[in-house]
A = this chain, B = another copy of it.
Amino acid sequence: MNSDNVNIITGNSKILRGIHRAMILNIIREMQPISRSNIAKLTGLNKSTVSSIVSEILNEDLIFEQESADQNVGRNPINLFLKLNKYHVGAINIDSSITRYAVADIDGSIKGEAIIDTDSKNPEKFVEICIIELLKLCNKLNLDGLKGLGVNIAGIVDSKNLIVNFAPNLGWEDFNIGEAIRKVLPNIKNISVGNDAKSSALAELWFGNHKIDLSNFVFLSIGPGIGSGIVVENKLMNGEYQASGEFGHMIIFEGGDLCTCGNKGCWEAYASDRAIVSQYLTKKSDKLEHNVDFMAQDIIDMAKKKDELSIEVLKQTGFYLGLGIANIIKAIDPHAIIIGGKITQVWDIIYPEILTVVTQRAYFGRKIIIKILPTSLNVLPSLLGAATLAIEEIFDGFKIIS
């Protein structure tokens, strides 16, 4: 019983109203068009309560009504929809070499997107540049004022205090990014900062197009390294020190290959883009330095064109991916594992390998095969994730701690 928890409940009793408001808003978002009556059935709330809350949200201009003619007997329902082209959020995804930024609507649709090179030497300065570019994009799109801003970083991020604890690829440590943002954007309401893989999980949860239940799942982001976001009962698991889900550095082969973290046998050393490249180069007996991002894409492209060596390397990667996934399944026992990254382009090559290993390793006593799927997002998950961080604030906008 820590006092944090206590405060969530207490304060004023509008909380219940807030929870219901968020519930209804989310139902509209996910199931639109939907009627008040239908919402009442889904939530179990009384019709009058739903009406009251809906009229509040209507006043906030987050949704709108539209008459409908349905085929059923009885009075026709009034359909409710999210109101688009009204509120927008900014999204910035800072990666080791490339930074993407975008403006998104509250349904997660990207209104505009652009790229700049990451220059991480001076963090404050770079953040300022990103925001200025983002505002330029807003102007170009003829949008006034952003309702919120979400920023994603490949590293360990304290989302509560808006601090980048540790981002080895950027060389940032204990960087107060919240302050840096607020210096440039003093008037913006909601600022959120997160880890890229965790936010990707959030994007999948909010805007994914899967037909399966995503209340318990793990999102795996396969890039140069491996990141992840764990969702348990519809909530992102953050970890005591914001560092949960660092499966990339989980040891699967004690004493094995060297990882960038200095240890040996990390999963990342076997199943990341970097591992793909290094395995390929080893087999080619090529020892030159290459850019991981481009080279990994090259190998994937070659595999698509049936290049045998590339396919062999990717199959091997699939095997190692499966090993780690089996471990994740045993640890977390999720309902699904969703994978994002370049390798999803060659899903037909890697998935059979993953499945074989997972079935062999993770099913001692299990009767149900856990779904392993590529991301359903057609935007870069981490960029949409940054937007989701901001959108989330709008939807659950009532502050739980008053």
* Interfacial residues, chain A to chain B (CB-CB below 8 A): 1-3, 5-7, 9-11, 13, 16, 19-20, 23, 26-27, 30, 42-45, 155-156, 165-166, 168, 213, 215-216, 232-234, 237-247, 249-256, 261-263, 323, 326-328, 330-335, 360-361, 364-368, 370
| CB <8 Å contact, B366 and A243 | yes
Residues of B within 8 A of A44 (CB): 6-7, 9-11
CA distance A262 to B256 in the complex (A): 22
CA distance A279 to B261 in the complex (A): 31
Residues of B within 8 A of A328 (CB): 331
| CB <8 Å contact, B241 and A366 | yes
Most buried by B among A26, A42, A242, A330: A330
Residues of B within 8 A of A43 (CB): 6, 9-10
Residues of B within 8 A of A165 (CB): 365, 367
CA distance A245 to B232 in the complex (A): 13
| CB <8 Å contact, B368 and A241 | yes
Residues of B within 8 A of A16 (CB): 9, 13, 16
Residues of B within 8 A of A10 (CB): 43-45
Residues of B within 8 A of A360 (CB): 263
| CB <8 Å contact, B246 and A331 | yes
Chain B residue nearest to A328 in the complex (CB) = B331
Given contacts A6-B43, A156-B365, A249-B330, 6 further A-B contacts (CB under 8 A): A1-B23, A3-B42, A239-B333, A239-B334, A240-B333, A250-B331
Partner of A361, one of B237, B238, B263: B263
CA distance A11 to B49 in the complex (A): 12
CA distance A242 to B255 in the complex (A): 32
Chain B residue nearest to A214 in the complex (CB) = B2
CA distance A237 to B27 in the complex (A): 26
CA distance A120 to B155 in the complex (A): 50
Residues of B within 8 A of A364 (CB): 168, 249, 261-263
Partner of A1, one of B30, B263, B323, B334: B30
User: Closest approach, in angstroms, between the C-beta of A27 and any C-beta of chain B?
Assistant: 6
| CB <8 Å contact, A246 and B1 | no
| CB <8 Å contact, A240 and B13 | no
| CB <8 Å contact, B253 and A5 | no
Residues of B within 8 A of A5 (CB): 215, 233-234
CA distance A238 to B232 in the complex (A): 9
